Chains A and B, each alone.
Chain A
Amino acid sequence: MLRIFKQPLFLIGFLVICGLLITSFWYSFQTGGHVKKLGLLYDQSGKLLGLPPFTPKDVPPFGTDENGYPLLFIILNGAKYTLLFSLVIGILRTFIGLAVGLIVSVTPLKIKSTPSTLFQAIQTVPISLVLYFILQPAIFDNDKYVFFMDVIRYSGGYSQYPPTTLWDVVLFETILLTAVSVPLVSKMFADEARDLLKKEYVNVSKTLGASKWTQIRKHVLPELMPKVFVVWIQQIIQALLIIGQLGVLQLYFGGTDVIRRAMETDVIPRTNEWSGFIGYQYQNFGATPWTVLIPLAFFFLVILSYNLLLEGFNRTRERQKFSKKMAKRKGATAPSKAPVLQQSDFHISS
């Protein structure tokens, strides 16, 4: 298991993601989530240099947004939400999919064929479009939620409905984002498990009296484990992409503040979570392109690291398989190296 950390690709991916997470937590711990806002900037003689937003050239390394907050702070502060959320969704998708897939793989054929084709429909639609219509009312048309803090502050009369809190919406999104990919993941695991259940050694154990559960536990699960890891990482990447798309459509999972004014509606992300920040900043893409492109570059970096992790994992597995095969071949050929017949075995009869 530890050998995998010697694979450089895996190590790079692992270090980048862990590094980002740890830095993010450390940074928000240090600053307490607050950082000095940059206002007007003067040089030593008191000449005005500029006002926010500052470009990456003015305020290295990444510049500031239009409120004067340094982008580095925003990105580091937001990393933990995005990374942890995608991690959790990846875990949920994989393990619920695995459980459902294993159950499906042992049920009789007639029952499962119908619902599986029904649920496959989800592959044929742009999923973020459908998610948008489900999530949008929960986030937008819900002023109880939006002004929840105000309700507490002024202790107004919203008593007939329990207000939807931030956690309700986050939980809701998590469930939805998990549910949309369970059909696909479970089908894959079910196919895989069914193939394994057909293997000879499983058949042997069946004739020896192993129950379905024993077959799954002893024979299928150990074989599936590497696949589970691969699927987990793939699902994290998928989740990141969907979160990004939803963020662009102005659904920020880290909490959305909808401020209704007389003429217009402002949608503001509550945390500095990446996708929300990108979606929010896209409105000013023409004026401050770096506030969109730099967080997106971090998105790219994270996805790249996950892919590196996956590639490193696959390579290690291949090498292991290869060395096992070689060992087997050596073991098989070793005894035959000694010549079976010696010259002394032959007698020349006269």
Chain B
Amino acid sequence: MTLGKTFSAFIWTIFGLVLISASPALFHDTHLTVYSFLTQILQLLKEAIQPGHILYVNPLSHVKRHLFPDFFTPYWYSLTLVFGTYLFSIILAIVLSTLLIFLKKWTIGLFKGVLFTFESLPDIFIILIMQYFLVWFYKRTGHHLVHFVQYGTNRIYVLPICVMAILPTIYLTKIMLVNLGNELTEPYIDLAKSKGLNQAEVVNKHVLRNTLISTFYHSRSVLWMLLSNLLMVEYFFNLNGVTYFILYYYQPIVLLMGLLLMFVPLFVAQNGLQHLIEWYTGRKGEGLNVKDL
């Protein structure tokens, strides 16, 4: 993808986000109301031009406040969670898969089975099991393992990141295992071994470095996966993040601003990563695909 194409995709997606934020106005009960949809779009565009003037209303006290300085607190928190989870799951996947590759073949098969099972877990199930386990553990031993719910202004990071990282880590580990397996059949591995390097050195110095690029390339889609997990995590752990804010102070313009502000950094990260990789390797994206997953 050239830079120009990326830019046009960016603009079009932003317009798409406007349409999505206006879409609740498209329906009244279950009837189509196209006219109010169109006026809603115009209204949104008009409001979005002057972000400093956007007001949000507290549904309980009906107090109006300016959206913008207030919105940044939950926004930074959510961004920290998303990118923290992203980095954590990449690191965890690399560590896991490099450890797994040293095991015997049937153990790898066993682990693949475990990963396969865990992959089917719905995110809600993971969250609730985790909550239940922590409460049970606290009742049993009287120790808090980690803070598992937000109260007041103290923010929790460890548990949400761990919970959100489970599914991406499995996904990335699967990709890494396939990549590492493919790379290990390359002829240069035999050459390196015949020269007297041991397995650990070969994996560390050559195989891992060659597969990392492809893994990073695939990890981009994880970012969007995290966004829908974020909603559930913030809902259940009562975290004051972006999706919670949107859910609580819902207005079309708040929805638009939330979606937009989450979209921009993720889009920049995703495409920046892609351009960086393509520039660094001199290969286009198609050459990096993992065929059989």
Q: Which residues of A are in contact with B by a Cβ distance under 8 Å?
A: 114, 117-130, 132-134, 137-138, 142, 145, 164, 168-169, 171-172, 240-241, 244-245, 248-249, 278, 282, 285-286, 289, 292-293, 296-297, 299-300, 303-304, 306-307, 311, 318
Interface residues of B in 118-162 (CB under 8 A from A): 119-125, 128-129, 131-132, 135
Contact A307 B116 (CB under 8 A): yes
Contact B123 A241 (CB under 8 A): yes
Contact B30 A168 (CB under 8 A): yes
The contact of A126 among B19, B231, B250, by CB within 8 Å, is B231
Q: Beyond A133-B255, A300-B120, list 6 extra A-B contacts (CB 8 Å).
A: A125-B259, A130-B24, A133-B250, A172-B27, A245-B123, A282-B128
Contact B20 A121 (CB under 8 A): yes
Known: A133-B24, A133-B255, A289-B132. A126 touches B230 (CB 8 A): yes
Report the nearest B residue to A123, measured CB to CB: B224
B contact residues around A121 at 8 Å (CB): 12-17, 19-20
What string of 1s and 0s marks CB contacts (under 8 Å) between B231-271 and chain A?
11001100000010011001000010001000100110000
Question: How many angstroms between the C-alpha atoms of A330 and B251 in the bound complex?
Answer: 67
Offer 16 A-B interface pairs, CB within 8 angstroms, sorted by A: A114-B12, A117-B8, A118-B16, A121-B17, A123-B224, A124-B267, A126-B230, A128-B231, A130-B255, A241-B123, A244-B122, A245-B124, A293-B128, A296-B125, A303-B120, A303-B122
Task: Give A316 Cβ to nearest chain B Cβ, in Å.
Answer: 14
Known: A117-B12, A293-B129, A311-B116. A138 touches B30 (CB 8 A): yes
Question: How many angstroms between the C-alpha atoms of A114 and B11 in the bound complex?
Answer: 11
B contact residues around A248 at 8 Å (CB): 124, 232, 235-236
Contact B23 A130 (CB under 8 A): yes
Question: How many angstroms between the C-alpha atoms of A299 and B29 in the bound complex?
Answer: 29
Task: Give B79 Cβ to nearest chain A Cβ, in Å.
Answer: 14
Question: Is B58 in contact with chain A by the CB < 8 A criterion?
Answer: no
What string of 1s and 0s marks CB contacts (under 8 Å) between B1-41 and chain A?
00000001100111111011101101111100000000000
Report the nearest B residue to A161, measured CB to CB: B29
Most buried by A among B122, B123, B125, B228: B122
B contact residues around A300 at 8 Å (CB): 120-122, 125
Contact B116 A245 (CB under 8 A): no
Task: Give A252 Cβ to nearest chain B Cβ, in Å.
Answer: 14
Contact B13 A120 (CB under 8 A): yes
Contact A138 B121 (CB under 8 A): no
B contact residues around A318 at 8 Å (CB): 292
Contact A122 B228 (CB under 8 A): no
Question: Is B96 in contact with chain A by the CB < 8 A criterion?
Answer: no
Question: How many angstroms between the C-alpha atoms of A303 and B122 in the bound complex?
Answer: 8
Task: Give B232 Cβ to nearest chain A Cβ, in Å.
Answer: 6
Question: Is B194 in contact with chain A by the CB < 8 A criterion?
Answer: no
Question: How many angstroms between the C-alpha atoms of A245 and B230 in the bound complex?
Answer: 12
Interface residues on B, range: 35 or more
Report the nearest A residue to B135, measured CB to CB: A286
Contact B124 A129 (CB under 8 A): no
A contact residues around B292 at 8 Å (CB): 318
Contact A129 B119 (CB under 8 A): no
Question: Is B48 in contact with chain A by the CB < 8 A criterion?
Answer: no
A contact residues around B29 at 8 Å (CB): 137-138, 142, 145, 164
Task: Give A54 Cβ to nearest chain B Cβ, in Å.
Answer: 18
Contact A137 B28 (CB under 8 A): yes
B contact residues around A299 at 8 Å (CB): 122, 124-125
Contact B228 A127 (CB under 8 A): yes
The contact of B119 among A169, A278, A282, A307, by CB within 8 Å, is A307
Task: Give A266 Cβ to nearest chain B Cβ, in Å.
Answer: 19
Contact B125 A125 (CB under 8 A): no
Question: How many angstroms between the C-alpha atoms of A145 and B30 in the bound complex?
Answer: 11
Most buried by B among A129, A138, A145, A278: A129
Question: How many angstroms between the C-alpha atoms of A124 and B27 in the bound complex?
Answer: 22
Contact A164 B30 (CB under 8 A): yes
Question: Is B117 in contact with chain A by the CB < 8 A criterion?
Answer: yes
Most buried by A among B116, B120, B250, B267: B120
Contact A126 B27 (CB under 8 A): no
Interface residues of B in 49-105 (CB under 8 A from A): none
Question: Is B227 in contact with chain A by the CB < 8 A criterion?
Answer: yes
Task: Give B226 Cβ to nearest chain A Cβ, in Å.
Answer: 10
A-B pairs, 8 with minimum CB distance: A121-B16, A117-B12, A304-B120, A172-B30, A126-B228, A303-B120, A133-B24, A121-B13
Most buried by B among A133, A172, A244, A289: A133
Question: How many angstroms between the C-alpha atoms of A311 and B292 in the bound complex?
Answer: 12
Contact A124 B263 (CB under 8 A): yes
A contact residues around B231 at 8 Å (CB): 126, 128-129, 245
Question: How many angstroms between the C-alpha atoms of A282 and B21 in the bound complex?
Answer: 28
Question: How many angstroms between the C-alpha atoms of A132 and B258 in the bound complex?
Answer: 15
Task: Give A290 Cβ to nearest chain B Cβ, in Å.
Answer: 10
Contact B117 A304 (CB under 8 A): yes
B contact residues around A169 at 8 Å (CB): 30
B contact residues around A120 at 8 Å (CB): 9, 12-13, 16
A contact residues around B123 at 8 Å (CB): 241, 245
Report the nearest A residue to B221, measured CB to CB: A123
Question: How many angstroms between the C-alpha atoms of A11 and B246 in the bound complex?
Answer: 44
Task: Give B87 Cβ to nearest chain A Cβ, in Å.
Answer: 20
A contact residues around B267 at 8 Å (CB): 124
B contact residues around A164 at 8 Å (CB): 29-30
The contact of A249 among B17, B122, B235, by CB within 8 Å, is B235
Question: How many angstroms between the C-alpha atoms of A296 and B129 in the bound complex?
Answer: 10
B contact residues around A278 at 8 Å (CB): 124
Report the nearest A residue to B136, measured CB to CB: A289
Question: How many angstroms between the C-alpha atoms of A114 and B120 in the bound complex?
Answer: 35
Known: A125-B17, A129-B231, A133-B250. A118 touches B128 (CB 8 A): no
